[in-house]
């Protein structure tokens, strides 16, 4: 069977139709799905009904999985599934509400970050007028690389940047939504940030341009509010370059906005795109997602 792709009005975020991910997918169809994933960076499947076992089985077709580091947010029965949710049950959060409300690649704290992730929507917050909330944005880092102005390409090509856990946590605290009652970050959110910091390597170095391990395409490797400086540039030039890079990668022409519906499964490639959750909703509106994370096959 040849897969049916409905193209989004962006370089990524294309919808693959006619595939039931709860069933075992024949090898030829799987190869087409994997080729689309590698090529576009974000692919979308709508109207799926998946048990945790079925999501894990589909995820494992791509290779081994990584478990989320903060284990209490993984499903007890299926620890390969990381729960992204704002739902509280028996006084305890069932998942992590804020898995990244800033532009980022997943697990930049690791020398070899994961290949990518898939997020499956079980509950989606919807406003009174029917508008879904909690969208996720994706920006294509391969398209952004191809469109770099010459001066910026020359400035970043072959250079490495230092990522700082402390800088990132400070940035996330400064930009996190506050509790309207207290005007402060909730205790749970503060605790989450502290826990994250304790689990992160203080500093890690990544190339600013990486070759995609499967396609060979060059991609900008960037996360907002995480890079302290670019090695080999003075402070002013480094800051100016990072700001120019931020403005470049966040141009609307590279961005796909995913408006969630229950039953959506979205897969993103961690080298060729960055993403950001909006988090523009609160309880009693509920959001519940199951994420699996694909291990990196090759270092980049
Ligand atoms: C994530 O970054 O893993 C989650 C994205 C989202 O919650 O939309």
Q: Any idea what DSSP says for residue 72? A: G
Q: Is residue 300 a part of any domain in this protein? A: no
Q: How far apart are CA 34 and CA 41, in angstroms?
A: 10
Q: Is residue 168 a part of any domain in this protein? A: yes
Kind of pairing between the strands at 14-17 and 42-45: parallel
Q: What is the CATH number of the domain that holds 136?
A: 3.60.130.10
**What is the average pLDDT across 216-230?**
95
Q: Is the pLDDT of residue 23 over 50?
A: yes
Whose structure tokens read 């994250």?
Answer: 196
Q: Is residue 117 a part of any domain in this protein? A: yes
Protein residue whose Cα sits closest to atom 6 of ligand 1: 277
Protein residue whose Cα sits closest to atom 7 of ligand 1: 277
Closest ligand 1 atom to residue 82 Cα is 3
pLDDT tens digits along 98-109:
888 889 999 888
Q: How far apart are CA 266 and CA 116, in angstroms?
A: 11
Kindly report the average pLDDT of the chain as a whole number.
92
Most confident of 37-51, 67-81, 100-114, 165-179: 37-51
Q: Is residue 173 a part of any domain in this protein? A: yes
pLDDT tens digits along 232-260:
999 999 999 999 999 999 999 999 999 99
Query: Which pair of structure tokens corresponds to residue 106?
Result: 């997943």
Domain total of the chain:
1
pLDDT tens digits along 261-297:
999 999 999 999 999 999 899 899 999 999 999 998 6
pLDDT tens digits along 143-172:
999 999 999 999 999 999 999 888 888 887
Ligand 1 contact via 116 beta carbon (within 6 Å): no
Ligand 1 contact via 42 beta carbon (within 6 Å): no
Closest ligand 1 atom to residue 278 Cα is 8
Range of the domain at 84: 4-294
Protein residue whose Cα sits closest to atom 3 of ligand 1: 99
Closest ligand 1 atom to residue 134 Cα is 8
**What is the average pLDDT across 40-44?**
98
Q: Is the pLDDT of residue 300 over 50?
A: no
Q: Is residue 63 a part of any domain in this protein? A: yes
């Amino acid at each position: 069977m040849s897969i049916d792709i409905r193209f989004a009005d962006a370089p990524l975020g294309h919808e693959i139709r006619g595939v039931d991910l709860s069933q075992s997918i024949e090898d030829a169809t799987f190869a087409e799905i994997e080729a689309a994933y590698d090529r576009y960076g974000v692919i979308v499947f709508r109207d799926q009904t998946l048990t945790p076992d079925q999501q894990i089985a589909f995820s494992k077709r791509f290779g081994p999985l990584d478990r989320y580091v903060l284990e209490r947010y993984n499903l007890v029965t299926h620890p390969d599934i990381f729960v992204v949710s704002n739902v509280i049950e028996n006084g305890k959060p069932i998942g992590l509400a804020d898995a990244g409300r800033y532009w980022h690649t997943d697990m930049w704290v690791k020398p070899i970050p994961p290949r990518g992730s898939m997020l499956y929507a079980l509950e989606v917050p919807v406003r009174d007028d029917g508008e879904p909330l909690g969208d996720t944005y994706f920006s294509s880092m391969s398209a952004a690389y191809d469109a770099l102005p010459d001066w910026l390409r020359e400035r970043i090509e072959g250079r490495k940047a230092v990522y700082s856990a402390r800088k990132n946590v400070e940035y996330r605290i400064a930009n996190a939504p506050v509790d309207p009652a207290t005007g402060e970050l909730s205790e749970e959110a503060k605790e989450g940030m502290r826990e994250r910091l304790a689990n992160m390597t203080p500093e890690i170095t990544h190339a600013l341009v990486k070759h995609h391990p499967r396609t060979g395409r060059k991609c900008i490797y960037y996360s907002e509010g995480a890079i302290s400086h670019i090695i080999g540039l003075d402070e002013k030039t480094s800051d100016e370059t990072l700001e120019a890079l931020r403005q470049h990668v966040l141009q609307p022409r590279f961005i796909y906005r995913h408006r969630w519906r229950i039953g959506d499964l979205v897969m993103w490639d961690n080298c060729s795109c960055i993403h950001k959750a909006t988090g523009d909703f609160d309880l009693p509106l509920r959001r519940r997602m199951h994420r699996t994370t694909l291990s990196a096959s090759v270092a980049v």
